[in-house]
Amino acid sequence: MKVIVTKNYDEMSQVAANIIIDVVKNNPSAVLGLATGSSPIGTYKNMIKDCKENGTSYKNVSTVNLDEYVSLNAEHDQSYAYFMRTNLFDHIDIDQNNTNLPCGVAKDLQAECDRYNGVLAKLVPDIQVLGLGSNGHIGFNEPDTPFDSVTHIVDLTENTIKDNSRLFASIDEVPRQALSMGIKNIMQAKSIIMVVSGKNKAEAVKGMVNGKITPALPASVLQLHPNVTIVCDEDAASLL
């Protein structure tokens, strides 16, 4: 596990974007695994800037996202489908038919998880972008999710509902469930880049990098992956 400590969020975002852009330059048909949330927004901004200014093309790139809220359709402004369009896909030359997310409004959610596992069997990310939950979750794999889990329906913890309520009008509007890639899916990526910032993540970063490998801290599983880069700002790295 390689850890790069940056001064702040902006530097973290630039370093992370450069790593992803290099993957796309080396392989114009790369598969990118993508995350939502506050952490990668700056990374995506830098990818957009680079696409516009330097012409890095996503024409032949495919993407798979980690997760989606149950009950929000793709037009809902808090859905992860909407997030991806507004924060990345609408601003680069990607063919949106090549972008994949689980569908949170599928009639049969388990069938949707099975479908998504089929997508992931065909599209193995060359690089998977991750954020880190303050409780150590990756994707929506909350503490005690088995390491051999694949895409599944998740009951979000109170901690995650509270963390995510900042983006909703009230905590009551935060969906209680999500569909998420499992830990096994995430570990299949050829390489992984995690962006983490802020003091509230420092404890989870410490456990992930130096702690015991345990489902109680899902991100600790990354110690077992051969090609992981953690890009974190000084606040997130403060307990290392």
Give the nearer residue to ligand F6R in terms of CB position, either 25 or 168. Answer: 168
Give the residue nearest to ligand F6R (CB): 131
Spatial CB neighbours of 235, under 8 Å, sequence gap ≥ 6: 197, 198, 199, 201, 202
Look at the alpha carbons of 54, 59, 62, 68 in this order and tell me if their dihedral is positive or negative: positive
Cβ neighbour number for residue 107 with a 10 Å cutoff: 7
Question: What mask of x and - would describe binding to ligand F6R in positions 27 to 56, judged by CB under 6 A?
Answer: --------xxxxx-----------------
- The least CB distance from residue 201 to ligand F6R, in Å, is 7
**Does residue 33 contact residue 66 with C-beta atoms inside 8 Å?**
yes
When asked if residue 20 is in the footprint of ligand F6R (CB under 6 A), the reply is no
Among positions 33, 102, 133, 182, the unique one binding ligand F6R when judged by CB under 6 A: 133
Alpha carbons 123 and 189: distance in angstroms, whole number:
9
| 3-state secondary structure (DSSP) of residue 186 | helix
- The least CB distance from residue 195 to ligand F6R, in Å, is 8
Give the nearer residue to ligand F6R in terms of CB position, either 30 or 129. Answer: 129
Count of residues touching ligand F6R (by CB under 6 A): 14
Residues that are catalytic = 67, 135, 137, 142
Alpha carbons 22 and 49: distance in angstroms, whole number:
14
Give the nearer residue to ligand F6R in terms of CB position, either 37 or 104. Answer: 37
- The least CB distance from residue 157 to ligand F6R, in Å, is 11
When asked if residue 131 is in the footprint of ligand F6R (CB under 6 A), the reply is yes
When asked if residue 78 is in the footprint of ligand F6R (CB under 6 A), the reply is no
* Site for ligand F6R, residues 137 to 156, rule: CB under 6 A: 137-140
**Does residue 28 contact residue 40 with C-beta atoms inside 8 Å?**
no
When asked if residue 66 is in the footprint of ligand F6R (CB under 6 A), the reply is yes
**Does residue 202 contact residue 236 with C-beta atoms inside 8 Å?**
yes
Give the nearer residue to ligand F6R in terms of CB position, either 132 or 189. Answer: 132
Give the nearer residue to ligand F6R in terms of CB position, either 51 or 179. Answer: 179
- The least CB distance from residue 237 to ligand F6R, in Å, is 15
| 3-state secondary structure (DSSP) of residue 86 | helix
When asked if residue 67 is in the footprint of ligand F6R (CB under 6 A), the reply is yes
**Does residue 108 contact residue 115 with C-beta atoms inside 8 Å?**
no
Long-range contacts of 20-27 (CB under 8 A, 24+ apart): 20/47, 20/127, 20/129, 20/193, 21/47, 21/50, 21/56, 23/126, 23/127, 23/191, 24/56, 24/57, 24/58, 24/61, 25/56, 27/126
Residues that bind ligand F6R (CB under 6 A): 35-39, 66-67, 131-133, 137-140
